[in-house]
Structure 1
Amino acid sequence: MSVEQPLWHALTGYRLLAVGYAITVYVWALDHFRHPVPGAVYLGVLTVWTLATLSRVSSARRCTKSFLAVDIALGVVGILLSVYVDAAGAVNPTIPTIWVAGPVLAFSLKGGWRWGGAASVLVGIANILEQGEVTRPTLHNVLLVCVASVGIGYVVEVVRASERTLAQALQIEAATRERERLARDIHDSVLQVLAMVQRRGTALGGEAAELGRMAGEQEVALRTLVSSGLVPAQGSPPGREQDEPLAAGAARGGSGGGGRRIRPSVKRRPGRGGGTGGSGTGGTGAGGVTGGPECDLRPLLSRHAGAGVTFVEPGAPVPLPEPAARELAAAVSAALDNVRHHAKAPAGGPAHAWISLEDEPDAVLVTVRDDGPGLPEGRLADAEAEGRLGVALSIRGRMRELGGSAELVSVPGQGTEVELRLPKRAAGGSAES
């Protein structure tokens, strides 16, 4: 409901009370009027008009310009008719009394402070003509109506501008979320295939090298498209897979060269590696992939266990709504994919990765770390500027839509750690610890 709608409801109630007050005042002073019949007829018409047009003052759309013109004309006629009905000036209020403020307020709600100011001036002129001179009470009443109408009109204009801004912001947010989702899917599929074709084609040579070169050019163009037109920095190899290395292995919360290295006591499970995407950092956001049937998160993560990946899990199932569990598993796949492509162990071979799954009372925590070389300072920002959006999309975007968070801590020479935290309430509140 519009923020201004309660003002229209209040105006409807005001008009009913005002017409009742006008009738009461007229009947109370009936013996003092010189020509009471015309005044009674006018109040009858005013009452019928007020009751018949209640729907007209229920919203700005129904309150048309023609209605406003007739409405304020009826009020002005009542003010001027008071000169004839109360010729002796025995009764101070005009026949419509405070009812005339209703049309003025309707002008303010419909057209803003300028319309309200113009309507209040018109009513003020009619009051001065009815009195025959500018008196202090008359001027006081005119100014009160003018200030009230201008103030309410200004508030209405501010409210409408705020509503338009909010509507535009919501549209932009929805479009941005959808664009991030599409860009993430492209990043996790098409870009990876193009990068693989470029790399393998270069290695094979001949016609395959030309095909690889074309695939690399398309990868750069597509990355530029999904990153809102950012041009990759000069010197960046077009076929470089992923966005930035995930050289995980630092202890959670560590920083700098003095970070403490932690190796969990884990059991190895057979399985297959896999997954696509990139590594990431992130923050919290509104959950967008929640609800649905529950599934155990452990099998989705255990498939990554193998010669180069160690998976440690709790002994009990970790239930999550299936959409949230799959998105969380995809974020873990993104982190592992970067480990395979970029992280190298100190001895020169592929880095070893560890996945730790913890079922906390109020959240599910997944930690991915390896024994790679770590991330140089500023590497994440550079990767995003180059259009390599694994951090922004494959992990951070997923966790933001889930209502969780992604935190990356890197220790040069000792590795990096990605911590994915998904509150159970954000995931649907169905997981039990």
Structure 2
Amino acid sequence: MRTSPEGFEVPLWRALAVFRVASLGYVVVSALRHADRYAHPLAAAGVVLVMAAWTATTAVGYARPARRGWPLLSADLGVVLGVVLATPWVVGRSALASGVPTLGVAWLAGPVLAWAVSGGRRRGTVAALLIGLADLATRERIGESSLTGVILLLLAGVVVGHVARLAVTAEERLQRAVELEAATRERERLARGIHDSVLQVLALVQRRGAQLGGEAGELARLAGEQETALRALIAGAPPARRDDGPADLRALLRRYASPSITLSAPAGSVPLPGPVARELAAATAAALDNVARHAGGRAWVLVEDEGTAVTVSVRDDGPGFADGRLAEAAAQGRLGVARSIRGRIDDLGGTVRITSTPGVGTEVELTVPRRLKEATWHG
């Protein structure tokens, strides 16, 4: 279970510290009242001092999330089990049989609550069973009162663990809500800027290109399509529903073949889920666009169907680039590779490998699994 220094679990840990101090006070009062009936009063005083020291230790330890791991949890349980097992000798079996309370009484519930807060119902139940069984093992006769103590420990572990789980779930939902609100505000801010700049330019290109005709008319049509898509994006409108059935990657890539772009693909079709095939084709198009911009436009595209995965390699004989150039371009805000290529392939659960040698050329290798987990793709 995840913990956070500012999370909803903090009050539970604080309440646990208060409980341990209060229960220790009850132990001290009980020990003073029944000290004359103990078999070894001095040993009882020593055990109480150990319990006091351990109460202080856990109060400091559990206050920091980094220390709420297995070492402290295990030590907490071990100390309490030691107190339980020492009780028959310190108090004496005859005194216990006559109704004298056990040495730990309510203080024994400390690790049960700690395990429950840190790990939920299951972990709290395990700690309650271990302490309860140890307590029963030290008794000569198991009666209703002793069983009641074990049942109360189990109830404490289950209830507190359930509350702790609800607290973590509530914290996660709150965090998602805060992130969503922040993303919405950022989108609204970007939408205002885009509306005042990019959309107006696209609208101007569409109007002027339509008047000029020819190639300018085609540019006007593309500008109009991009303007519509961009308006829908910044307005938060859902994208148009697309066919999610199988698609032939080879057919999608064939449109990019030209005298300067050589496409090599298997003789048969390369079927992939529709969204996967389209995103892989779009990433390939982005790589070819980089070739056109920086490498003269000459490229070779190789499609390999490996059964469980499909790999598309885009190679050129351009000038290449030195190591670190992609990171430098991303830092400058040029995100073609980071977003159009890596972003798409990462969302598909695939990998991107880019190798480049100055003066020799660049190769971009895109690999995606044929079968994706349902949670990977939300298109």
Deviations 1:71-108 (CA, angstroms, capped at 9, x unpaired)? 12211221221111222432521112211111111111
Q: 1:232 to 1:154 in 2, by over 3 A?
A: closer
Q: Contact between 2:93 and 2:140, CA under 8 Å: does it hold in 1? A: no
Q: Contact between 1:195 and 1:215, CA under 8 Å: does it hold in 2? A: yes
Instruction: Provide the rounded CA distance (Å) in 1 between the counterparts of 2:16 and 2:240.
Output: 59
**Which of residues 41, 44, 48 is equivalent to 1:43?**
48
Q: 1:129 to 1:192 in 2, by over 3 A?
A: same
Q: Contact between 2:93 and 2:139, CA under 8 Å: does it hold in 1? A: no
Instruction: Provide the rounded CA distance (Å) in 1 between the counterparts of 2:239 and 2:21.
Output: 65
**Which of residues 200, 207, 217 is equivalent to 1:192?**
200
Deviations 1:236-274 (CA, angstroms, capped at 9, x unpaired)? xxxxxxxxxxxxxxxxxxxxxxxxxxxxxxxxxxxxxxx
Indicate whether 1:12 and 2:17 are aligned. Answer: yes
Q: Which residue of 2 aligns with 1:202?
A: 210
Indicate whether 1:218 and 2:226 are aligned. Answer: yes
1:135 shift after superposition: 0.8
- Structure 1: unaligned runs, 5 residues or longer: 234-433
Instruction: Provide the rounded CA distance (Å) in 2 between the counterparts of 1:31 and 1:4.
Output: 42
SS in 1 for 2:68: coil
1:21 shift after superposition: 2.0
Instruction: Provide the rounded CA distance (Å) in 1 between the counterparts of 2:206 and 2:93.
Output: 100
Q: Which residue of 1 aligns with 2:320?
A: none
Indicate whether 1:112 and 2:120 are aligned. Answer: yes
User: Which ranges of 4 or more aligned residues in structure 1 deviate by more than 4 Å?
Assistant: 204-208, 227-233
Q: Which residue of 1 aligns with 2:111?
A: 103
Structure possessing the higher relative contact order (Cα contacts under 8 Å, 6 or more residues apart): 1
Instruction: Provide the rounded CA distance (Å) in 1 between the counterparts of 2:239 and 2:145.
Output: 71
Indicate whether 1:71 and 2:82 are aligned. Answer: no
1:38 shift after superposition: 2.3
If each structure's helix is expressed as a fraction of its own residues, which one has the higher value? 2
Instruction: Provide the rounded CA distance (Å) in 2 between the counterparts of 1:89 and 1:57.
Output: 37
Q: How many residues align?
A: 233
Instruction: Map residues 7-406 of structure 1 onto 2, 5 A cutoff.
Output: 7-91=12-96, 92-205=100-213, 208-227=216-235, 230=238
Q: Contact between 1:224 and 1:232, CA under 8 Å: does it hold in 2? A: no
Instruction: Provide the rounded CA distance (Å) in 2 between the counterparts of 1:230 and 1:12.
Output: 50
- Structure 2: unaligned runs, 5 residues or longer: 1-5, 242-379
Instruction: Provide the rounded CA distance (Å) in 1 between the counterparts of 2:72 and 2:239.
Output: 58
Instruction: Provide the rounded CA distance (Å) in 1 between the counterparts of 2:42 and 2:213.
Output: 106
Sequence identity (%): 40
Who wins on radius of gyration, i.e. which is larger?
A: 1
Deviations 1:99-147 (CA, angstroms, capped at 9, x unpaired)? 1111111111111111111111111111211212321001111111211
SS in 1 for 2:107: helix
Instruction: Provide the rounded CA distance (Å) in 2 between the counterparts of 1:52 and 1:201.
Output: 76
Structure 2 length-normalised TM:
0.56
Q: 1:230 to 1:23 in 2, by over 3 A?
A: closer
Q: 1:181 to 1:13 in 2, by over 3 A?
A: same
SS in 2 for 1:95: coil
Q: Which residue of 2 aligns with 1:320?
A: none
Q: Contact between 1:200 and 1:212, CA under 8 Å: does it hold in 2? A: yes
Q: Contact between 2:121 and 2:160, CA under 8 Å: does it hold in 1? A: yes
Q: Contact between 1:55 and 1:62, CA under 8 Å: does it hold in 2? A: no
Instruction: Map residues 411-426 of structure 1 onto 2, 5 A cutoff.
Output: none
Deviations 1:27-83 (CA, angstroms, capped at 9, x unpaired)? 221111122232222222222222233211325543221112111221122122111
Q: 1:231 to 1:64 in 2, by over 3 A?
A: closer
Instruction: Provide the rounded CA distance (Å) in 2 between the counterparts of 1:121 and 1:145.
Output: 8
Q: 1:46 to 1:232 in 2, by over 3 A?
A: closer
Instruction: Provide the rounded CA distance (Å) in 2 between the counterparts of 1:107 and 1:123.
Output: 12
Instruction: Provide the rounded CA distance (Å) in 2 between the counterparts of 1:52 and 1:63.
Output: 12
Q: Contact between 1:60 and 1:109, CA under 8 Å: does it hold in 2? A: no
Cα RMSD, aligned residues only: 2.4
Tell me which moved more, 21-30 or 100-109: 21-30
Instruction: Provide the rounded CA distance (Å) in 2 between the counterparts of 1:23 and 1:59.
Output: 27
Instruction: Provide the rounded CA distance (Å) in 2 between the counterparts of 1:232 and 1:6.
Output: 47
